[in-house]
Structure 1
Amino acid sequence: MTEEILLLIGDRIRAKRQEKNITLELLASKAGVSKGLISQIENNRTVPSLPVLLSIVYSLDEDMRGFFESLQEKLRNEKYMLIRKDDTKKISKEPVKGFSYNRIFARAIQSSAFDMALLEIKPGAARRKMVTTEAFELKYLVRGTIEYQINKEKFEMSAGDSLVFDGRQPHRIRNAGHEEALLLIVYLF
């Protein structure tokens, strides 16, 4: 299983769960895990262990072959990829009012994987809880003003500023300006 498949697992779990109208709470209960863990897996913030993955797939009434069937199609070995503006995919990473992610690219490249997205943050929108990811995070603020908190340290970023950090540190973000902020995010797994 390549790192890219690991990135696609969360998307597949969410798609199957939504296709079957199963709530996060119900899936977590059936799989014997927490709602928070299901959310982290669906948002590519963590990779499930094999027993947890098996339990989730079983709880979705899927067999492993069917679950992974079309993932292989997404793993073609192109020489390059050109991603047009209209090819981005709106994704739901977390239920935070005013946050809207557009995935640009998620791909494994030579034993590494990365996920690239644009995050639009409405004025006043903020993540209330601290989160962690199993990746290094690279952020580039395209427009607007945001406040970032990593552990207990808070700082403001303006358009053109960049940030790189280990996502395993608790962190959160809020739009500190009066206009919509646009943030380019790259997760390196």
Structure 2
Amino acid sequence: MSEFDVGGRLRAIREDKGLSQRELAQRSGVTNGLVSLIERNKTSPSITSLRKILEILEMTLAEFFDSDTPSEPGKFVFRHSELTEINPGRIYRSGGAALDALSLKRAGKSGQTNLLLLYETYEPGADTGAEAYAHEGEEGGFVIEGELLLTVGETTELLRAGDAYLFDSRLPHRFRNVAKARCVVVSAATPPTF
């Protein structure tokens, strides 16, 4: 995959919305320095930080990482090579080991469906971030391979291949691979706020 310019994309969207870095930082609850570092591609944001920023810009992570190429009308099959990577650590390689070890690939284009369908790969040590995150909707998935530690609210459970989860995604949640082997999950969320 060619390197995605996270900083350039964020700067262009922020400027298009008529916001200064300082205003975006204040409204999203992150530091001005973080916004500046992201825009200069000096750091890769955590998923939680980027979600906070994008919420102010009225954009989902999937919309942020979608290419500008529209889907073909009537298309219903998406080959693995056509899936959109929406993880900042994978696209801009400086997110730290835990974030780099996570791959989230979306089927379809943002804004063209009411369902977010993801093929998720958690290498050993992968983590969605030190902070749990929450968003509107519901999400669920099946562990296809390996083990996944899932925290929802105050409860943490270890899921193994064949196990499934389904929860109200307004509850803070976090996914981690604490095993020594890769974990693969197929998940869905509605509405596609992620």
Using the size of structure 2 for normalisation, the TM-score is 0.61
Residue of structure 2 equivalent to 1:91: 86
Q: How far did residue 79 of structure 1 move?
A: 3.9
Residue 126 of structure 2 corresponds to residue 125 of structure 1:
yes
Structure 1 unaligned segments of length 5 or more: list them.
1-12, 57-69
Unaligned runs of 5+ in 2: 1-5, 31-47, 60-66, 90-94
Q: Which residue of 2 aligns with 1:33?
A: 27
Indicate if the aligned counterparts of 1:42 and 1:93 stay in contact, CA closer than 8 A.
no
| Letter matched to residue 119 of structure 1 | E
State which of 174, 177, 188 in structure 2 corresponds to 1:186: 188
Which residue pairs with 1:3 in the alignment? Answer: none
8 Å CA contact 1:145–1:156 kept in 2: the answer is yes
Instruction: Tell me how far 1:174 sits from its aligned partner.
Output: 1.0
Q: Residue 70 of structure 2 aligns to a residue in which SS?
A: helix
Match of 2:139?
137
Q: Using structure 1 for the length normalisation, give the TM-score.
A: 0.62
Confirm or deny that 1:115 pairs with 2:121: no
CA separation in 2, counterparts of 1:124 and 1:158? Answer: 16
Task: List per-residue Cα deviations over 1:100-156 (Å, max 9, x = no partner).
Answer: 2112234567xx712112221121222321111222112111111011111111111
If each structure's strand is expressed as a fraction of its own residues, which one has the higher value? 1
Tell me the equivalent position of 1:175. Answer: 177
Give the distance between the partners of 1:124 and 1:38, measured in 2 at CA.
20
Q: How far 1:171 sits from its partner (Å)?
A: 0.8
Which residue of 96, 106, 110 corresponds with 1:103?
A: 106
- The share of aligned pairs that are identical, in percent, is 16
Over the residues paired in the alignment, what is the CA RMSD in angstroms?
3.6
Distance 1:14 1:134, change over 3 A: farther
The structure with more radius of gyration: 1
Count of residue pairs brought into register by the alignment:
149
